[in-house]
Structure 1
Amino acid sequence: MFVVKLFVALIVALALAIYIVNLNIKSKVPPITEVTSAPYKDAKFHNTAPRQPMTFSDTAALWVRFFTEKKVDTTPDINIPVSRISRADLDALSNNTLHLVKLGHSSILLKVYGEYWLIDPVFSDRASPFPFAGPKRFHQPPISLEDLPPIDKVLISHNHYDHLDKASIKILRTKTQQFLVPKGVDGDLIAWGVQADTITTFDWWQELQTSQGLVAFTPTQHFSGRGMGDGNATLWGAWVIKTAQESIFFSGDSGYFQGFKETGDKYGPFDLTMIETGAYDADWADIHMKPEESVQAHIDLKGKVMMPIHNGTFDLAFHTWHDPFDRVVTESANRNVVLSTPQFGHIFSINTLPPLTPWWKSE
C-alpha cells in the first residue's frame, strides 16, 4: 500500500510541477537593476541570515510526506464563528481613530482615520493556483469584495498564494487608489490589469509618508515564488504603520530572526503587533515561526498587545488547526504578553482591542 501511495504522490507532484511551470511562463519577473537594501544576487533576493538549502532528496521527501502522511484534526470540527459586516457598518465607524477587522488568515481591513486599507487580501475559496485543488477556506470572509467601500491602499507582504490572490486583485484594481508592494511584485499586478501608476514598490527599510502617517516595509526571513521558475525573484517583508496616535506592525510570513529586534528598536513600541502564528513545521522551521517564537518576536518588537494571524482559515501544515491558538495562549501567559484574539468580522479600534477570547473552542 505504501508503494502505491508513493507512486501516486510522485505522479501528482510531477503533474502539479508541470502545471505550475506552464502557469508562470509568461510571468517571469525581470531582474532588479537598482541597488537594494535587501540582499540581491543572481537575480534573486536573499535573507540576511542564510537558509539551510533544501536538497533534491529533501524536496522529494517533503512531497511524499504531503501526500502520504495522515493528517489529524487539521480542519475544524466546529463552525468557525464569523460576524457578517456590511458597507454601512464600516461607514458608520468614526474617522478619528484606527479601526481593524480580521477578515481571515492574514487578511486585515483597516479604517485609518476615514481611509480604507487592506493588507494581504485573500477572498478566494482556495489559497492555490488551482481552482479545483489546494487549501480550501474553513469559512467565508465576513464581507465580500464587491460590498467593500472604495479602498485607498492595498498592502502586500509577499507573493505567496495565501497572501497575494489574483482573483481578489482583479476586483480590487477597479476600486483601489494605491497598491504598496515589495519589489518585483508590481510585475504580477500589472499583468493582472492594475495600472502601473497606482503601484508603489518597496525595498527593505523603505518608508512612505502618507496623509495618515508613516508606512515602512521591514525585513522578514522568508522567501517568494508563485511557480517553479520565479523563486525569490520578488521581495518579501513586513509592514509598519504609524499614525499620529497609533503604531501597528504586520509581520507577513517569517521565521524567527534578529530582524524583529531591529524593527522594534527602529519603530517600536507598537500598540498592536499582528504576528504570524500558524503553518509551522520542523521541516521549514527557518521560514515560519513556532507560536513560542511568535511571542518572542512580539517582545522583540516592543509590542503592547499581540494578535495572532495566519491561522484559522486554511490548512497549510501538519499541526492541528487549533494548535497555534492553544500554544500561543500558553506561551503568552508564561511571558506576561497581552493577547487579543478577535473573531473574524469583529470590528474594533486600536483603543478597544478585544480581550483573549477562545472562540476556537466554541461549538
Structure 2
Amino acid sequence: MKRRTLLKTLSVPALAATGVLGWMSAARATNRYYQGPATDHFDGVRFFSPNQPQDKGFMELLRWQLGGGRKEWPESFPSPFRDKPPADVQGLRTVLIGHASFLIQVAGLNILIDPVFSERASPVSFSGPKRVNPPGIAFEDLPPIHGVLITHNHYDHLDIDALGRLWQRHRPRFVAPLGNDAIIQAEHPEIGVETRDWGGSVELGNGVIAHLEPAYHWSARGINDRRMALWCAFVLTTPQGTIYHIGDTGFGDGRIFHAARERFGKIHLAHLPIGAYEPRWFMEPQHMNPEDAVKVFQIVAPNQALGHHWGTFRLTNEGIEEPPHELAVAVRAAEIPPDRFRPLRPGEAWTPSG
C-alpha cells in the first residue's frame, strides 16, 4: 500500500495530535527549529532521552492502527465542574482546564500550562481528535495571565491559536524547551518565548521559579520534524511549596523521577498523566498508565497528586473512563489513601484545604 493511501486510512490528524506522523522523518535532516552543540540528549539534529527507547517504526505504527481494540468514546462527556477563578490567589489553587491544560494560581501569579482551547487537537480544524467536553474555564473567564509554560509541541499540548489569543489579551511571559520558540514565532512572531534546556530555569516573580526537567517523551508537529524540538516536565518552586507538573512521559527506568526528588526535595503537589496508554506495547515508552503514575507517586512522595491527560481527547485505544478506574485499582493496591491521588475533571479545582 502506498504511503499516501495509508495516511488516509490512518487518520492523519488523529496521529498528528500526538506527533505520531514523525515516523516519516528522514534518518538525517537539518533541524529547522534549533541549532546548538551536541549534548547527552541532542545529537546535533535531534533530541533524545538517554538510555530510553526512541522511535517506533512504520510497521509498528501500522500494527497499532490496523490491529483493532480501539474502544468507542461518547460524543459528549460533560464535566460536572465549571470554574470561574478569582483574579488573585496568594496561596495555591490549581484547576484542570481539560486534558493536560492547567491554571496554577500561586503567590499572586496566574500561570497556564499547555493551554489548549481549540475544538480539536489537530493541525486542521475539520478533522482529528475532537473535544468531548468544553474547557473547564472559558477563555473569557481567565484571570490576568502572567506566565504560560509549554511542555512540548504535540497538538494536544501546544495550541498555536490559543497562544496568540493569550498574547493579545494578557501579554504573558512564555517559557518552553529548546526549539519551541521557532514553532510559536512562525505563527506569532510578536511573541517572545524564553527557552531553556533540561536543568534550566526561569524566574517568574514573587518567589516562583519554573525549572525545566527531563521527561521520557518526544516531539513532532508534522511529517519531517521528529524530535527537533525539546520536551520537558516543569517543577515550580514557590513560597507555597514545590509543584511537579508532567505533561507527557513514560516511566522508563524511573531515574528522572528519583532525580527530581533528589534535586527538589519534598514535593507538595504533583500533576501526573494517567491516560493515552493503550495499546501498552506501543505507548509504554511515551505515556504512563495509572500503575506507572502510582510508581512515580511512590518515588516523589507528594503531599497531593492529581491525575490528568484523560477524558477530553481520544488519542489511543482505552475507553474514556478506564484511566480513573485503573487509577483507583493501582492506588488501592499501593495502599495510598484515595484522596492523596485522584483524577481531575475539567473545571475541577484543588486547594491545599481540599
Please indicate, yes or no, whether the TM-score normalized by the shorter chain is above 0.5: yes
SS in 2 for 1:40: coil
For residues 205 and 334 of structure 1, what CA distance do their matches in structure 2 show?
A: 34
Specify which of 51, 55, 58 is matched with residue 56 of structure 1: 58
Which of the pair has more CA radius of gyration? 1
Letter in 2 for 1:205: G
Q: Does 1:166 align with 2:160?
A: yes
Structure 1 gap segments, 5+ residues each: 354-363
Between 1:43-52 and 1:187-196, the stretch displaced more is: 187-196
Q: Does 1:82 align with 2:78?
A: no
Give the aligned partner of residue 353 of structure 2. 352
Alpha-carbon deviation of 1:125? 0.8
Letter in 1 for 2:36: T
Specify which of 269, 272, 276 is matched with residue 275 of structure 1: 272
CA offsets 1:249-273 (integer angstroms, 9 cap, x no match): 1011011032111111111321111
> Is residue 155–residue 179 contact of structure 1 (8 Å, CA) maintained in 2?
yes
SS in 2 for 1:228: coil
Letter in 2 for 1:170: G
For residues 201 and 164 of structure 1, what CA distance do their matches in structure 2 show?
A: 15
Structure 1 pair 324/11, CA: closer, same or farther in 2 (3 Å)?
A: closer
Alpha-carbon deviation of 1:32? 2.2
TM-score (norm 2): 0.86
Give the aligned partner of residue 96 of structure 1. 90
> Is residue 150–residue 176 contact of structure 1 (8 Å, CA) maintained in 2?
no
For residues 55 and 350 of structure 2, what CA distance do their matches in structure 1 show?
A: 42
CA offsets 1:129-169 (integer angstroms, 9 cap, x no match): 12111111110012322332331100000000000011111
Give the aligned partner of residue 176 of structure 2. 181
For residues 129 and 79 of structure 2, what CA distance do their matches in structure 1 show?
A: 16
Structure 1 pair 193/342, CA: closer, same or farther in 2 (3 Å)?
A: same
Q: Does 1:204 align with 2:202?
A: no
Letter in 2 for 1:56: F
For residues 78 and 326 of structure 2, what CA distance do their matches in structure 1 show?
A: 21
- Structure with the larger RCO, 1 or 2 (CA within 8 Å, 6+ apart): 2
Specify which of 126, 140, 145 is matched with residue 151 of structure 1: 145
Aligned residues: 333
Structure 1 runs of 4+ with >4 Å offset: 6-9
Q: Does 1:119 align with 2:113?
A: yes
> Is residue 220–residue 254 contact of structure 1 (8 Å, CA) maintained in 2?
yes
Specify which of 240, 251, 264 is matched with residue 235 of structure 2: 240
For residues 4 and 222 of structure 2, what CA distance do their matches in structure 1 show?
A: 21
Question: Within 5 A, what are the aligned runs for 1:66-77?
Answer: 69=68, 71-75=70-74
Letter in 1 for 2:318: H
TM-score (norm 1): 0.84
Letter in 1 for 2:159: D
For residues 64 and 72 of structure 2, what CA distance do their matches in structure 1 show?
A: 20
SS in 2 for 1:151: coil
Give the aligned partner of residue 48 of structure 2. 46
For residues 94 and 283 of structure 2, what CA distance do their matches in structure 1 show?
A: 30
